[in-house]
Structure 1
Amino acid sequence: MEKDMQYGSDYKFIPATSIGSGVGIQVLPDIYTYTIQIVNFIAIGEPNSSDYVIVDAGMPGSAEEIIEVCSDRFGKDSRPKAILLTHGHFDHVGAIIELIEHWNVPVYAHELEIPFLTGQKSYPEPDPTVEGGMVAKMSPLFPNEPIQLGSHVEKLPADGTVPHLPDFRWIHTPGHAPGHVSFFREKDRALIVGDAFVTVKQESLYKVMTQEQEISGPPRYLTTDWQASKKSVETLAELKPVVAITGHGLPMTGQYLEESLSRLVRDFDNIAVPDYGRYIDKNIH
């Protein structure tokens, strides 16, 4: 591993999975989502094209699987133009260093995520006391130390454009992480959400394992700013997406997405915000 890149000392394989693990879904002709254990990474680009990017980088230890998925979809020895990060939590950057080494491609993230990706700052500790279920109780196992990508990570352009994806723009959607971003394409109203909201109750081990679909706020055990998170969901709902691909859970489309997102905005405090936990602002309820 290059000396200028390293994971935090707490990085390790996390033994959590779902029935969706290893399953890929072609959501649109050029958007493919693939589940690794409990999290999705997304490939954007026409099949067998050399012009594609990936969004997020899976769980720790998943590099070989990600490379194989991309080889199958885009051709042997193909490589993306870039890796885009919705944010830097461990389950979205788990294979990032191996992928950079294998493909030699740049990584882009919001400037507020850069400290967590360049060894400067740890994320707040996951909250096992938060209301929600067994995954929340397991969360002290989850890595939160910064990783070090050195010069391999760059800031997303300040004007909202997305490198190598001219039809997309990035939108700052903080709350779950300070520099969390989502990606939106106006022409078909495709939204790549990250963890701004998800389509599975991520705190519940049963629902994670079965991938039972329901709209939910961001994963509770790693969300530290619920006021910002609520505003981010409102911002995304105003886009009126036709399809939403989330970091956790199955893609959601059409009228079901519209109704679910409206309900999440209307009832965010009850659906998303836990009743208790160390990051709960008592003023939000």
Structure 2
Amino acid sequence: MLKINQMELGPVQTNCYIISNSQKECLIFDPGEESKKIIDFLKKKELEPIAILLTHAHFDHIGAIDDLREAYPIPVYLHRLEKDWLGKPNLNGSGKYGMLPDYRMKDADVLLDQEKMLEISTFKMDVLYTPGHSPGSVTYSFGEEGFAIVGDTLFRGSIGRTDLIDGSEKKLLQSIQDSLLTLPEHMILYPGHGPETTPEREKMSNPFLNRF
């Protein structure tokens, strides 16, 4: 059984998820900022990170990846459609806000380009393509474990914004309908911001999804 730890990081409190197995290996999802806080946690729990997985490449989800790669020789996974975003502030959004530094990260090591079963050590997950918030947004679904990491596609009672580069409300709503609301009703959905939810809860109460 996998263990999930959540950390709220950076200026907009992005959820970073650290998922570990019984061998003390772990995956890091969306390390948005505060690399020291992440590294201190890994050391305290005696966890060995083996990969960083990004739901998408907006600045608030990528800020700690280079520091983590300096501390640990681990690969970064990202959808191919956003392969240039890590190093370009005008794409990852950091150049949009004057109070932020420009985020220029090194390229991802593994580019995802299709929906597939992804295996990393003992971790098994389905990669679901869920564009709309950004062109390369993906969801990592751990069906056997009953949870999914959905990034900024869907929130409790809300949906991801679509006014950033290459965002699309039509694609976002289609992604939610086709890929997230079709997951088991009680599956736990862990979003990029805020508390977790379930497909059942969002079908019943999300005002943006009442058409479904």
TM-score scaled by length of structure 1: 0.63
Q: How does 1:224-263 map to 2 (within 5 A)?
A: 224-234=167-177, 235-241=179-185, 242-253=187-198, 258-263=200-205
Q: Which is greater in Rg?
A: 1
Aligned residues: 204
Find the counterpart in structure 2 of residue 40 from structure 1: 15
SS of residue matched to 1:123: helix
| Structure 2, unpaired ranges of 5+ | none
The residue type equivalent to 1:243 in the other structure is I
Q: Does 1:154 align with 2:143?
A: no
- State yes or no: 1:94 paired with 2:63: yes
Aligned to 1:193: 150
Kindly indicate which of the two structures has a greater share of residues assigned to strand: 2
Structure 1 regions of 5+ residues with no counterpart?
1-27, 127-138, 200-214, 270-285
Provide the C-alpha distance between the structure 2 equivalents of 1:232 and 1:142, rounded to a whole number of angstroms. 32
Q: 2:41 maps to which residue?
A: 69
Question: What pairs up with 1:81-120 in 2 under 5 angstroms?
Answer: 81-119=50-88
CA distance in 1, matches of 2:32, 2:103: 16
Shift of 1:144: 9.5
Per-residue displacement from partner, 1:167-197 (whole Å, max 9, x unpaired)? 2111111111110101112224311111101
* Structure 1 match to 2:31: 57
Which residue of structure 1 aligns with residue 210 of structure 2? 267
Corresponding residue to 2:126 among 155, 163, 169:
169
The alignment's TM-score, normalised by the length of structure 2, stands at 0.82
2:16–2:192 CA contact under 8 A, matched in 1: yes
- Measured in 2, the distance between the counterparts of 1:102 and 1:124 equals 23
Report which structure shows greater RCO (CA 8 Å, sep ≥6). Answer: 1
Rounded to whole Å, the distance in 1 between the matches of 2:190 and 2:82 is 21
Quick one: percent identity of the two aligned structures? 26
